[in-house]
């Protein structure tokens, strides 16, 4: 089944990692894959743009169906391979509602994280302002405190109840990204417990970004958050 799937991906990219975790959870190993380098701009290559005209990773294809948005790919895989591997959408309406809520809130976490981590890359030097950097950091701090609160009130070890779900598939890579960029493990104990608690889950361990294994912490960009 996985032989008719192709994934073009980049190491350390939360969107790429989401799709890889979903594939592992659904027992869809053995798909065609190619690791590309963001540094070498390989995500702008013809091989990628033929699948994804946006020139972004991941680029994912099953048969003739192209799903380049990571959330879409994860939801598609769960829908098409429901009876295979681990069930990623709970039956309980309350847990399912929370799962979808946390999943899509994860996009806000991603945005606020990117505003801090990529500020100097996105904003030309002459247009940078200390006030904007401060505002972005404050917004990210507020966001992370929200997730810390969610986990304090959680009924299980996961983001949406007692079972690993699509909420964890989609949000865990972003949380891991925070720690990779130096988020304090002491400051957010519940978030840290969640992050460390899932490190050894087979689907996460098998897909851990190879560049992170070489360099466990990229930098201390988020040490003050």
One digit per residue, the tens of pLDDT, for the chain of length 225 reads 688 999 999 999 999 999 999 999 999 999 999 999 888 888 999 989 999 999 999 999 999 999 999 999 999 999 999 999 999 999 999 999 999 999 999 999 999 999 999 887 788 888 889 899 899 999 999 999 999 999 999 888 899 989 999 999 999 999 999 999 999 999 999 999 999 999 999 999 999 999 998 876 667 889 998
Task: Report whether 5 contacts 61 (CB < 8 A).
Answer: yes
Please state, in angstroms and rounded to a whole number, the distance separating the CA atoms of residues 87 and 5: 20
Please confirm whether the linkage preceding 58 is cis (ω < 30° from 0).
Answer: yes
Half-sphere exposure of 103 (CA within 13 A, CB side): 20
The two tokens of residue 170 are 């989609």
Q: Is residue 158 classed as helix, strand or coil in its secondary structure? A: strand
CATH classification for the domain delimited by 93-214, as one of 3.30.360.10, 3.40.50.720, 1.20.1050.10, 3.90.650.10: 1.20.1050.10
Per-residue pLDDT, 3:
87
State the Cα–Cα distance between residues 147 and 62, nearest whole angstrom. 33
Q: Could you give the angle at the alpha carbon of 68 between the alpha carbons of 65 and 69, nearest 5°?
A: 120
**In the chain, what are the domain boundaries?**
2-81, 93-214
Distances (CA, A) of 159 to 9, 136, 148, 149, 208: 25, 25, 11, 11, 20
Report residue 71 as tokens: 């959330």
Fold classified for 2-81? Glutaredoxin (3.40.30)
Label the pairing between strands 32-36 and 65-66.
Answer: unpaired
Is 68:56 a contact under the CB 8 Å cutoff? Answer: yes
* Gap between the Cα atoms of 17 and 212, Å rounded: 12
CA distance 14 to 176: 9
Closest CA to 74 of 94, 54, 60: 60
Q: Which two tokens stand for residue 212?
A: 């992170």
- pLDDT the model gives residue 218: 63
CA angle 214, 109, 75 (to 5 degrees): 85
Give 200: exposed, middle or buried? Use CB within 10 Å, 0-12, 13-18, 19+.
exposed
Please compute Rg for the chain using Cα positions: 18
């Amino acid at each position: 089944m996985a032989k008719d799937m192709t994934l073009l991906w980049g190491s350390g990219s939360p969107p790429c990692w989401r799709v890889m975790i979903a594939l592992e959870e659904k027992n869809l190993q053995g798909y065609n894959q190619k690791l590309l380098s963001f540094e070498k701009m390989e995500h702008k290559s013809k091989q990628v743009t033929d699948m994804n005209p946006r020139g972004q990773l991941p680029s994912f294809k099953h048969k003739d169906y192209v799903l380049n948005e990571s959330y879409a790919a994860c939801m598609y895989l769960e829908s098409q391979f429901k009876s295979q591997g681990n069930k990623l959408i709970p039956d309980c309406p309350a847990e399912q509602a929370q799962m979808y809520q946390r999943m899509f809130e994860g996009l806000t976490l991603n945005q606020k994280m990117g505003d801090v981590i990529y500020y100097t890359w996105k904003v030309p030097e002459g247009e940078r302002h200390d006030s904007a950097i401060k505002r972005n950091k404050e917004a990210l701090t507020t966001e992370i405190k929200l997730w810390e609160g969610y986990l304090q009130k959680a009924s299980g070890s996961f983001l949406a109840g007692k079972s690993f779900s699509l909420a964890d598939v989609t949000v865990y890579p972003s949380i891991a990204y925070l720690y990779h960029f130096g988020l304090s493990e002491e400051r957010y104990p519940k978030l840290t417990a969640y992050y460390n608690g899932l490190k050894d889950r087979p689907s996460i361990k098998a897909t851990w970004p190879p560049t992170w294994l070489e360099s466990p912490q990229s930098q201390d960009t988020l040490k003050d958050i």
